[in-house]
Amino acid sequence: MSLKNLKEYLKQRSKEDLINEISGLFSKFEYVKDYYQTKLGKNDAQVLQKYKDIIEDEFFPTRGFGKARLSVAKKAISDYQKMSPASEGLADIMIFFVEMGVKFTNAYGDINEPFYNSMESMYERAIKFITDHGIQDMFKTRCIKIVEDTVNIGWGFHDGLSNLYYECFET
């Protein structure tokens, strides 16, 4: 089905039918509920926390050891980004991802180069986003803490994050 077909279908429905259909989607699908909560400006913090919990659970589940599946954690960021207009929330969740990765490394020891490349890439993306949206003051403390917490991590990880931090916050 194409978007064009969907639009034709929706045009043929009455307002009441559309309300019932959207209400049904809202009731059946959590993603739709999250979308409308953020779109209507209600409970964006609650939706943000839900996606941060997905990330945290990948690194530090309630039981057992974290799997640190970066694809799952990145999908949480992507899903949140698709539904939330709040730039602060998106910056928050990207920084949170890096914080969890750094905490995981410090808890369980050295990981591998692709892991650190992914963390550094997300940090760079977050820093750029923060700068582009002029919200450095909101995130400066957390960003420098990430750099400080990586002093003893190898693979050039600390140096890379440090350079990114100083390019953004100290220029």
| pLDDT at residue number 122 | 98
| pLDDT at residue number 120 | 97
| pLDDT at residue number 127 | 96
Q: Give the C-alpha separation, 95 to 102, whole Å.
A: 11
Q: Give the C-alpha separation, 169 to 29, whole Å.
A: 41
Q: Residues near 141 by Cβ (< 8 Å), separated by ≥ 6? A: none
| pLDDT at residue number 104 | 97
| pLDDT at residue number 27 | 93
* pTM for the predicted model, two decimal places: 0.88
Q: Which parts of the chain register pLDDT below 50?
A: none
Give the type of residue at 119.
M
Length of the chain: 171
| pLDDT at residue number 168 | 86
What tokens appear for 72 in the block? Answer: 């799952």
Determine contact, residues 93/83, Cβ cutoff 8 Å. no
